[in-house]
Homo-oligomer: A and B are copies of this chain.
Amino acid sequence: MRIQEIQKQVDDWIGQWKDGYWSPLSNLARLTEEVGELARAINHLHGDKIKKDGELQGNIAEEIGDIMFVLVAIANSMDIDLEESFQNTLEKYNVRDAKRFEPIIDVEK
């Protein structure tokens, strides 16, 4: 599935409802909420948090899907091309961090 299709699917889903996209600040609050749920799931599996009895195991894959959905909704509501944004980030990292970490192979001269 292409990124554009994902943006289209979210747009179709939201397009069903009368009110359309939420305001930017409301969508951001939703993103904060979903990241919080991922935090709980990751803390249960990889952190020091002891799971409460009866609490379902946080499903990390599910929380990541939920975050993806909100992120796409935010992008859509502001006419942002997610693929382009991602490419720009990748390019930025390639330039900025080119010498930041130690490479796996130290090429000999």
Contact = CB atoms under 8 A, between A and B. Distances in A.
A42 B29 contact: yes
Nearest to A67: B71
Contacts of A24: 42, 45-46
A46 to B, nearest CB: 4
A65 B47 contact: no
A96 B47 CA distance: 20
9 smallest A-B Cβ distances: which pairs? A36-B36, A65-B85, A65-B89, A26-B47, A22-B48, A32-B39, A17-B101, A25-B25, A26-B48
A107 interface: no
A88 B6 CA distance: 12
A101 to B, nearest CB: 4
Given A18-B104, A29-B47, A83 B1 contact: yes
A9 B43 CA distance: 24
Contacts of A30: 39, 43, 47, 49
